[in-house]
Amino acid sequence: MSRFLFFLLLLATLGFGAHLWLSAAAENHDFSARERNRDEVRIVAVTPPVVAARTEEETRRTVQSLAGAACVEFSGIAGADIARARDAFAALKLGERLVERRVEEITRYWVFVAPASDRRAAEASMAQLRRQGVSEMSIRPDNAISLGVFSTEDAARRYLSSLEAKGVKGGEIGPFAREMREIVMLIREPDTETVARLALLQRDYTGTQLRAVPCP
């Protein structure tokens, strides 16, 4: 019996000692040792509940307004967003129902004389222009004569007026260079799921518009 009691006391002592050791270890344990790059962690943004609710309501109204539309237009995708938007629309797997349209703007205007029948005729016209006091001009590959390139249409018109004051006839103004301003995505016969996905996608592109349009 005495030996049995001895073992019970020994086990109790060992158990109590283990409990004290584990308690002390838990109190002194530094959990920050588990962290990685904690100084680099930043909260990027927190959307206020009011803003989130308003966004959800706007999305709901957009989906409701486009329900049953024969064609939907996603416009205003500009600049650096174009490549990303193309990838996003490709992920929708719309196939031939998706049509991309480029929207360009004129960045340069020119004053010119319409193409002559051949280069000899163009050179004869240039000789006449020199006699009228025009010094800066060049023959284009299509035998048109360029009299100047300008950044605005008004500047081109003012220059043409100055040439006409010298007796120059046949001068014209037209667009010389164009740049892509944005792309427009047209989706034919979108179902409800597609419209909902478009409405969600619109959140990622500031300044874009989503609307029902007649199918071309």
What CA–CA distance (Å, rounded) separates 153 from 110? 8
Question: Could you tell me if 183 and 103 are in contact, meaning their C-beta atoms sit under 8 angstroms apart?
Answer: yes
Question: Could you tell me if 211 and 72 are in contact, meaning their C-beta atoms sit under 8 angstroms apart?
Answer: yes
For residue 210, what are the contacts with CB-CB under 8 A and spacing of at least 6? 62, 66, 72, 73, 74, 198, 199, 202
The string of pLDDT tens digits covering residues 203-216 is 999 999 999 999 98
**Structural tokens at position 7:** 């073992």
The string of pLDDT tens digits covering residues 111-151 is 999 999 999 999 999 999 999 999 999 999 999 999 999 99
What CA–CA distance (Å, rounded) separates 59 from 114? 52
Question: Could you tell me if 199 and 71 are in contact, meaning their C-beta atoms sit under 8 angstroms apart?
Answer: no
Helix or strand run (H / E) with residue 21? helix 2-28
Its pTM surpasses 0.85: no
